[in-house]
Structure 1
Amino acid sequence: MEKVETLWSRRLSEHWQMTSRYLKLLSNSGFMFTLYILIIGGGYFYQQWVKGLPTTFPTEWILLILFSFFIIRSPIRTLLRSADLVFLLPLEDKLAGYFKKAMVYSFILQSIPLIFVWAIALPLYLHTVDTRFSAYGATLVVLIIIKGWNILCAWQENYLLEANGYKWARGVVSLLFIGLLLFEAPWYALALLVVITVGLTLFSFHPLSQSHLLKWEVLLEIEERQAANFDRFANLITDVPHMKNRIKPRRYLNSVTEIFSFGSNSVFKRFFSKTFLRSGEYFGIYIRLIIVGAIVIWMVSGELSSVIIAVITVYLTAMQLLPMWSSGQVEEGPALLYPIPEQVRQKNFLTIFMFLLTLEALLLAIISCLVGIPILFAFLILAVGIVFSFLFTYGYASRKLHKEAD
């Protein structure tokens, strides 16, 4: 049997070997070129936007939301597998080093996007809050410390099947820390919060590992969820055979799909609409991208820039929804139940795909009106969004589907 001491190193090596293959495919795809263009264009608009902001802009509140998201969300990557519940569970006492390495790895991995967001927000902070770089630099140090505390507490939560109360406590403390830091609260307020945090750690979180057994099923669920997130990202450029999809009933939305009949020409419209509404990733990312796009349009508040942001949002949504065709359910299930020609299935998919992108363009146009964009540019957002959706659907997406069929 493999030595426990080398288990983490081997699994981490295997994990990155597989990850690097997908990243290599990503680097060779047109997605990276598009990403570069978005970064360059976004950087330019971001600089122009920051220069025009008044000192009364609520930078602290925006950074509070951003930093809190990346700090409070602290899943532990353990690289566990289903079989470990049988073969490694008896060796739990010898796996302390393994799990410590998992926590360190998770801390480093999750600190990278936090530092990235901190760096992006640097011009915004210096322009609207404090011109001293030292103050913002000290903020990063404290944010990293808070992140480490969240990782440690998140590990202790794995000793409970239901740890919502502890997660809320950890979240509230983190929010208070970040808020007091950004709003430059008096030192004694921070000192009091430090004392409360130490007490919470010693008398609430730490005893969990002393009085409860480690819940391996919770660890495995977290690991599978994190792996699925990367699989969905990799599935944008290539098929991921082992990708698992989370399905949610969402019965309150079932009536939406009733407009499609079970006839041979529309049964897959019904299928893909249900797949979208019930899928844990497609429906969720669709809503999140609309929200993000709306927030950016509100923050920028420029006519032409709002049109560009709306098109970028529709494009990102299209890239996220395109894998719905090859999600695995098409070829393994309904394709066998309903012997519908490939051409009809593709046509049904593209119809739903086009509808979703057009609906998103409409929603962004309505939102732009609500945040003060002139109605003429709102109509322009809708028109450009529809044209882009049509070209993407029956240009790029259609060719991609035909290529996969061949």
Structure 2
Amino acid sequence: MDTNQLWKERLNHHLKMVSRYMRLIFNDHLAFALIFFVAAFAFFYQQWLETVPSTFPAEWLMAISIGLLLTYSPVRTFFKEADTVFLLSVENRLMPYIKKSIIYSFVMQSYWIAIFLFALSPLYFTVNEEVSAGYLFFILIFALVVKVSNLIATWFIQKSRDQRLHYLDIVVRLIINVFMVFFLAIGQPYYSFIALLLLVGVMFLNYHNVYKKFSLPWDDLIEKEEARLQFFYRIANMSTDVPDLKRKPKKRHGLVRLVTKRMPIKQNQTFIYLYSITFIRSGDYLGMYLRLMLLAVFFAFWIPAFWGKMVFALLFLFLTGFQFITIYNHHRSIDWLKLYPIPHALRTKAVHQLILVLMLMKIVVMSIVFFIATDLMGALIYGGLAISFTVLFEAFYVKGRIRKLGT
């Protein structure tokens, strides 16, 4: 078996899939919202920098942010379930395949390190005016070298099935990475080289104590690879229908009882009941809803200008309604749903009602936040604009999107 050719085929298949969904994502309104979000964030970020005191802990913020990115170093293998049969016998000949996997993972994860370092550089230069751009480039190169060590250390420890050993490895590497970047940020690279030597020591310990003693845990590697693929599918599913998306429901019995105990047991309430439980028990919707809520609250307190708070609050309100439209097709693979003796219009109505309730709940919470962050008039202005936006969004945008999903 030519493992180099196998890697090329797997990589080409993955890139084609990603590019296909990325075109659909960036052709949608979500792309416009994200571009607007980045532009607005950059504007208010620049305004905030003008008020940052010289005592602001920019070095620690950079150390923690970059340190987390360095520590999180999964190796993308593109392994599939059938590999437990066809590749198990050639495991000792997979070294070229694994090397290419590490190189690919390094390239893709290095982009995020560069992006975060670039985003934090204005804050870093504001607090440390004497630092040159060349030194920031040195930090980037040093971080990329450290990234290689973290990827290799992660791959070596991957053979162990002891989760406690995995957690210990993550904690040790995180502490080393954070202090390594911190010493770089405060201008003491000699200590960073010592930290790098400690990281190399961790890498060799993982190699001698784990990698040399065990074989590849194929089931675990395939499960993690599938989880990463499903994560991308969940993002793409916000803009288009993804047939390969798998959803694992969560129990959440208490929350389900709290929501459904007051629902009338009537035939015309069937889809409302179904989609309410779907929202709660699905692994995607409830978590995303709460994360968007927390982000909206953060920006409402962080942005100084009132109209800036308003823009971001309305933007997150749009994202809240936008992402839950796809719940309409959540049960598309279940045939018995079509056997319900219920008009199709009630299904569409149930989705409209769910999105409307979710957006109104967010308006209530954000109105309280605006009252705390600004005053009563600010809360009333936000509430009026948000309700008007929700009504128009429901009447026009949601209606058209659901019609497209139903065809």
TM-score by length of 2: 0.89
| 1:134 and 2:137 aligned | no
**1:46-98 alpha-carbon deviations (Å, 9 max, x no partner):** 32232333323343344344323433322221111111112112211111111
Say which is worse superposed, 106-115 or 377-386, in terms of deviation: 377-386
For 1:225-374, list aligned pairs within 5 A: 225-258=227-260, 259-327=262-330, 329-330=331-332, 332=334, 335-336=337-338, 338-370=340-372, 372-374=373-375
Report the Cα distance in structure 2 between the residues aligned to 1:64 and 1:355, rounded to whole angstroms.
41
Distance 1:235 1:64, change over 3 A: same
1:216 to 215, 218, 222: 218
Q: CA deviation at 1:104?
A: 1.0
2:406 is equivalent to residue 405 of structure 1: yes
Identity score, percent: 27
Which of 381-390 and 277-286 deviates more?
A: 381-390
Q: What letter is aligned with 1:299?
A: W
Distance 1:277 1:125 in 2: 41
How far has the Cα of 1:119 moved from its partner?
1.5
Amino acid at match of 1:364: M
Q: Would you say the 8 A contact 2:62–2:182 is kept in 1?
A: no
1:56, 1:128 within 8 Å by CA — same for their partners in 2? yes
Q: CA deviation at 1:233?
A: 2.0
Any conservation in 2 of the 1:246–1:281 contact (CA below 8 Å)? no
> What secondary structure sits across from 1:243 in the alignment?
coil
Deviations 1:103-151 (A, max 9, x none): 1111111111221122222222212334522333222223223322222
- Unaligned ranges ≥5, structure 2: none
Equivalent residue runs for 1:53-68 within 5 Å: 53-68=52-67
Instruction: Indicate the SS of the match to 1:211.
Output: coil
Mapped to 2, the partners of 1:355 and 1:190 lie a distance apart of 52
Identify if the C-alpha distance between structure 1 residues 195 and 71 changes in structure 2 by more than 3 Å, giving closer, same or farther. closer
**C-alpha distance in 1, partners of 2:358/2:72?**
29
Provide closer, same or farther for how the CA distance between residues 63 and 359 of structure 1 changes in structure 2, counting only shifts above 3 A: farther
TM-score normalized with structure 1 length: 0.90
SS across alignment from 1:159:
coil
Of 186-195 and 39-48, deviating more is: 186-195
Q: Unmatched 5+ residue regions in structure 1?
A: none
* CA shift in 2, pair 1:281/1:380, >3 Å: same
Give yes or no for contact 2:325–2:402 (8 Å, CA) kept in 1: no
Cα separation, partners in 2 of 1:88 and 1:243, compared to 1, 3 Å: same
Structure 1 range deviating more: 157-166 or 76-85: 157-166
**Bigger shift: 228-237 or 43-52?**
43-52
Over the residues paired in the alignment, what is the CA RMSD in angstroms? 2.5
- Counterpart amino acid of residue 242 in structure 2: V
Which residue does the alignment assign to 2:150?
A: 150
Shift of 1:238: 2.0
Q: Which residue of 2 aligns with 1:179?
A: 182
The secondary structure found in structure 1 opposite 2:324 is: helix
Contact 2:153 2:202 (C-alpha < 8 Å) held by counterparts: no
- Greater Cα offset, 329-338 or 209-218: 329-338
Please name the residue that 1:30 is paired with: 29
Per the alignment, residue 164 of structure 1 pairs with 167
Measured in 1, the distance between the counterparts of 2:301 and 2:130 equals 25
Tell me, yes or no, if structure 1 residue 42 matches structure 2 residue 41.
Answer: yes
